[in-house]
A and B are shown apart, each in its own frame.
Chain A
Amino acid sequence: MREIIVSELTGAIQELARDFARFLPRLIVLVIIALAGLLIAWLLKYIVRSVLRLIKFDKLSENAGASQLLAKAALPSSTELVSRLVFWLAWLGFILLGVSALGILGMDEQVARFFYFLPRLFVALFIVFFGLLAASFFSRAALLAAVNANYPSARLLSASIRVVIMVFVFSMATEELGIAEQTVLLAFGIAFGAIMLGLAIAFGIGGQELARRFLEKRFAHENRGEENEDELSTL
């Protein structure tokens, strides 16, 4: 009896030792991959930061209005943020590669899903960044045009354009990431439709006077001479 117990225990310990001996090289591989990944990720971060500084990414981001958003959220500059993101994504990727080398059941699938997700994440970030840039550009263009044409509520018009573009951009980005696709699409459709309907009703009911003035100004030629005689003569 005693011998059987001792023999089983010895066998179990030997098995454990064998398993550990089999596992140890994989663990070492994981550590090596993680360390190499850390080095490569750090290099990537350095390169990305240099490139972004070279192309004045912070200025571009400021123009897009992204810098202001980051400042409000007490986050670092966009160049720093992007280079850190690249660092963490690269290192996480290497760690996951190392983990897959451990041969843990089901881990391979998770790692594959992560790498499948990465391009979509970058595309979503790309959409958000250029969307913010477009929102900033078009809202500013609308603001300037409205102010120079002496239209009332120029800032409201500009802010509406910014909101509509940003809603559109974020719904595109979430669709790309595959986050609650149906919900986001539905929400976007409802929100966009509501905004348009609201604007139509507001223009129809609240803006009768404005619409009348606009149409008169546009089509009533008989009043033009009278209006122009006091205009600014430039050249």
Chain B
Amino acid sequence: MPEEIAVADRSTTVRAEIKLTEESFLSDDCVRQLMGVGEIDILIGLPTHNNAKTIASSVAAIQDGILRWFPRERAAILNVDGGSRDGTPDLILNAAIDDIRGRKFRNALRTLPSVSTKYGNSAERGTAFRTILAAADLLSAKACVVLSPESNITPEWLPALLSPIYRENFDLVLPSYIRQKFDGLLVSNLLYPLARALYGLRIHEPYATDFSFSGRLGSQFLTQNTWNSDIDRAAFEVRFSTAAITGAYKICQSSLGVKPHVERKSADLVPVLRQTIGELFCVMDPTFAWWSGKNGSEPIPVSGVAPQVELEPVRINRKRLGKMFQTGVAELQSVFQAILSPNTMAELQHIAQTNEDDPFYPSELWVKTVYEFAAAYHKSVINRDHIVQALAPLFRGRVQTFLLENKNSSSAEMENNVENLCLEFERLKPYLLEMWK
């Protein structure tokens, strides 16, 4: 009995120490505001940076969702702002829940307080997420949902993301979207197949900006993750998903409906590669023991039903992608020599030189290329950021081939092709292990 008391005392002390550390990470003003909120059941984290255009509708949807599906729960909105200059935090703080109440005849039993804190003058996704984690830990939230104001948030997202955690004891709920044809090509051609082959779970959105997690997963990630300035600046999404997978937490996917297409410039590809594939390459090192023994993959539970809709395809300039791929292979020869094996290099040069209009980048070669890049990243053959940047022209080449292959495919056929690519990644996993040595 005394031993049990001692263990309980120690765990209380450790928890208190963790809280103290995280309280010191949070600003005094933020802690004061959070103390005013008190203990809660649900925390809604809203990281923002100049989102005045969409924030009002996002907050209204959140309030509506909470009032409608979680009227008895103690909930709060936490806005973590990266120095917006368009008054985004004010819009959140001024959005009164009474407007929703009156308009939609909702009868909430509790208030929905909003807290806003500023962590810097530029968007740092890692810092924003750390703030949300620390606040959730401090308020002992049972469930926490993180939503991006850039997403087209609807009230239905709240139960879709929170119910599996709150009512079914899941630890991480990742979204599953319906996309326009040819939208999310990095996810379908690289991130999803690679993460699936590595970790053996069919998580369609390993890089999710809208997701929810349990208090215990949040606290665990907060304390186990070594936070530093690099991690604060980096994207956390892939790191967090991987931590949940390797920590054997209960994960599910929830259907959120249609994901609106976001216009991007071609120059955006490299930062996006850094945030996604760069992070995945980075976490491959510490989790090697976990993923090296995994073969094949298994599905994870999916909640909600995805509506069957055929959306307009996104317009993409295929010829431009092909040209950028060919230029990349020709100009970056010296860089690729350090990263790729001579065989892969020769094959790439061959496909870049033949069939000038539509170079054909086969799945097997693409998988080998990605695995050789991962191994080169692990061995740091050159600067790691340069390795990630060098992948961009090759990714364009692969996308060009994917677009050509699926030009006249239906959504189901395209999904089937992505599935085949995933199986190719799984089949060639021993090649990755061989290159890794």
Contact = CB atoms under 8 A, between A and B. Distances in A.
Q: Do A and B come from one complex?
A: yes
Interface of A: 59, 62-63, 137, 140-141, 143-150, 154-155, 228-235
Contacts of B185: 232-234
Contact of A232 (B264, B338, B382, B389): B264
Contact of B331 (A143, A229, A233): A143
Nearest to A155: B331
Nearest to B179: A233
B10 interface: no
B335 A140 contact: yes
Contact of B272 (A144, A146, A230, A235): A235
B267 A143 contact: no
A234 B315 contact: no
Contact of A233 (B261, B332, B334): B261
A170 to B, nearest CB: 21
Given A144-B332, A148-B393, A228-B265, A233 B183 contact: yes
A231 B335 contact: no
Given A231-B265, A233-B262, A148 B316 contact: no
Contacts of A228: 263-265
Nearest to B267: A149
Contact of A143 (B262, B265, B332, B396): B332
B241 to A, nearest CB: 14
Contacts of A62: 338
Given A147-B393, A150-B327, A234 B263 contact: no
A111 to B, nearest CB: 44
Interface string B370-398: 00000000000111001001101100100
Nearest to B207: A235
Given A143-B335, A144-B390, A235-B276, 12 more contacts: A140-B382, A141-B386, A143-B332, A145-B389, A147-B393, A149-B267, A154-B327, A230-B316, A233-B183, A233-B263, A234-B187, A234-B272
Interface of B: 182-187, 207, 261-270, 272, 276, 314-317, 320-321, 324, 327-328, 331-332, 334-335, 338, 381-383, 386, 389-390, 392-393, 396, 399
B383 A137 contact: yes
A228 B269 CA distance: 13
A137 B389 CA distance: 13
Nearest to A230: B317
Give the dominant DSSP class at A's interface: helix
Contacts of B321: 232
Contact of A150 (B187, B324, B334, B381): B324
A129 to B, nearest CB: 17
Nearest to A228: B263
A3 B183 CA distance: 117
16 contacts: A62-B338, A63-B383, A143-B335, A144-B386, A147-B393, A148-B270, A148-B392, A150-B266, A150-B327, A229-B263, A229-B315, A232-B264, A233-B261, A233-B316, A234-B187, A234-B272
User: Which 5 A-B residue pairs are closest in the complex by CB-CB distance?
Assistant: A230-B317, A234-B186, A144-B389, A154-B331, A233-B183
A1 B41 CA distance: 127
Contacts of A63: 382-383
B195 to A, nearest CB: 14
Contacts of A235: 184, 186-187, 207, 262, 272, 276
B331 A230 contact: no
A230 B186 CA distance: 16
A222 to B, nearest CB: 16
A53 B362 CA distance: 40
Given A141-B386, A147-B331, A150-B266, A233 B182 contact: yes
A233 B314 contact: yes
A147 B276 contact: no
Contact of B266 (A137, A140, A231): A231
A3 to B, nearest CB: 87
A154 B328 CA distance: 10
Given A63-B382, A143-B335, A148-B393, A231 B184 contact: no
